[in-house]
Structure 1
Amino acid sequence: MDIRQQIHQMKLDAPLMAASDIEVRNAALGLIARALEEGQDEIFAANRKDMETAVASGVPATVQKRLRYDEGKLRDGIEGLRQLAGLDDPVGKVLLERELDEGLLMKRVTCPIGVIGVIFEARPDALVQISSLCIKSGNCAVLKGGKETANTNRVLFGIIHDAATRAGLPEGALLQAELHSEIDELLECDEDVDLLIPRGSNKFVRYIMDHTRIPVMGHSSGVCHVFVDRDADQDMALRVLVDAKTQYPAVCNAAETLLVDRAIAAEFLPKASRALAEKGARLRGTQEAVDLCRPAWEAGEAPEVELMGDDEFSTEYGDYVMSCKVVEDVCEAVDHINRYGSHHTDAIVTASDAAADYFMQMVDSAGVYRNCSTRFADGFRYGFGAEVGISTGKLHARGPVGLEGLVTYKYRIVGHGDIVADFAEGRRQFHYRDLR
């Protein structure tokens, strides 16, 4: 059976998965957590093979960090599974209950989306997060990981699938696609796949969006900003900036651009350059930023700030590099972010309520923060248990997509032989009484 046939069968089985009891789904998450813990030696051995190949192939160190699946990532994955099991069932929630007329009751009730295809690069921990969220939300999932971690993904999927079926979930609830050619086959399954969620580079996500008729939820880049306002506590700003850029520079919620209020730029930029350099990162700035930092680096008090190109403000470096620009005030900072940003996550550091309120109202991004790092843009850190990805769109789900983003709803109406003709011809009238 080829992958198209398997996906078609999954579509037929999706109602069974949607109807599965929450106790069964939670039991599956518990079994998966235990199985991952018991199978860690096999997982780590497979990951070592992938890492050896990556090193031999010259994969950049920042990407290697994403490929690695170690004790820390395993521990986080298991904690996410347990956190997820403790969350309320997202399926079957009554969002609206309305009596249209006496004896004619309408409810809007949450239900799974159905069959979700998730295509991701370079991160084996994503496989654990995605499969567990789909299980909890009653969705079937087609999982296609990158070739860079093929060995790790194969072992992880085998453990997860076996535990899920032992818990009583349908055999076809999860499907792993391994061949590169299967990506294009998956993209053509618009009659059977309800949603695609790509996770990877800008180029990769854009390819998915441009080659399918299936609805796509996700983001094509992560160009996040930190704006340091004139009323910022500069020590706080340095702490936030360094974390946002260097804590994990290869991910989409790492900051790529520093914006500094002109009123403090001459003082703050050399500090920023020095603090980032201590973590191995460097600034690339506009001519004004370079000129303001020149006295400090000529005096040996701060590293040199490189002159950036005109087109770099839309660049997702994914590395220990950050662009910087001096802006007049919070208004210019907002204009810059809305023009060059990716609508992912942007932060302001300030003690001014007025500046913060303006920034958080006017920046058109899925996440807007005050006095904290952009790295908080994560489903686990939001208490969602995990995430299938970050959505920068505005329809259905936005920001870290957890359980609520993986359900839709249906309308259920229960009557007693009611017909529209009675209302159209005046024998009855709607009275619309909300019961909740």
Structure 2
Amino acid sequence: MENYTFTAVDRFLRYVRIDTQSDPQSTTNPSTEKQKDLSRLLVQELLDMGVTDVELDEWGYVYATIPATTDKANVPTICFCSHVDTSPDVTGAGVKPIIHERWNGADISLPDRTNPADPAQVIRVADHPDLLDQIGNDIITASGTTLLGADNKAGVAEIMDAAHYLLTHPGVKHGRIRLLFTPDEEVGRGTEKVDIQKLGADFGYTIDGESLGTLEDETFSADAVRIQIQGVSTHPGFAKGKLENALKIAADLLASLPKEALSPETTDEKDGFVHPTRLEGNQDQAVLEFIIRDFTEAGLHEKETYLQNQLNDVLAGYPGSKADFVVKQQYRNMKEVLDQHPAVVDNALEAIRRAGLSARRRSIRGGTDGSRLSFMGLPCPNIFAGEHAFHSRQEWVSVQDMQKAVEVIVNVARVWEERA
């Protein structure tokens, strides 16, 4: 890709200014209509590139095709996928991206505050050791009051730039390529309305990873648990011996969980967790929601049984109360599928090496759209996008990492054609 003028950063700076935050409490698809604002822009940009097969469907999914340039008939169709929504954890409205050119290695102070009494946001090298690999590079951050949106608009911009490169360099041999941009990944519904038959791809890659050169081929397996507690309600003035407060039952359950283990803040590597995410209610009824994570299905079931037993122990002290315990499957470890299709990982690792990088396979303590896509029939590991400190006001990405991601996407297309 010598002498190519990358477009990824310019695209990224446009995309992050569009608020696409998803909403976990919404029951609509997509969960927020504003996600389609970016999707419509992507459609227009693809049309401007000369893509004729491009569609935005009613659910907010963008499908597009880059036609094959190879004469080989047996090249698999490859899909590149990223999500347009940003996390509900931190606001994505009014993002003001800042490029810190030729970063010198010092802590990065962000200029804006929600109000004068707030402490300034400082991206400290001690807290972000991956920054040590970026000295001399150009770092993009938000201004201090919002997230940046590199998760996953960096991936969106990189796929769009790779599409632009391939369309303007027809001499690069590749098979048919499908692009997929999804809503609602951050709320666990990114593939809920994907039409796999319409997508028509054999293998896929999400561009939604972190550090330069990494490929993630293993994720958590994930379930959600919803506990609805029915207490015994009565007037508090006449409650002695009668009232069983649902909120106190919920609080007792939370207090029974270990403080030094089994939580996100006390685990790493291959350790799973039980994580409360929501509590609401009153003395009569309360609802507790949890996410359960482990790298194996057996580990998930073990943690769910543990939580059920803790609930039963708490309810033993409230004989008039009861609770419903409902488990909902979210996604499974994509390694189960990818191990059956080694070429999808091997070809990506080769593409990373051809970009002059050290290719590293990693497990991710989370999930991507690729987790579900893999079990829907599209084996789909996750390639780095360069995003760091996601879901926070200290999110950052480097220009040079984004450009390398573009190069890797192009290389993936090349490798599949060569090895067909």
Same fold, TM exceeding 0.5? Answer: no
- TM class by shorter chain equals under 0.3
Q: Which has the larger radius of gyration?
A: 1
User: Higher helix fraction: Structure 1 or Structure 2?
Assistant: 1
The structure showing larger relative contact order (alpha-carbon pairs under 8 Å, at least 6 residues apart) is 2
TM-score for both structures, normalised by structure 1: 0.26
TM-score (norm 2): 0.27
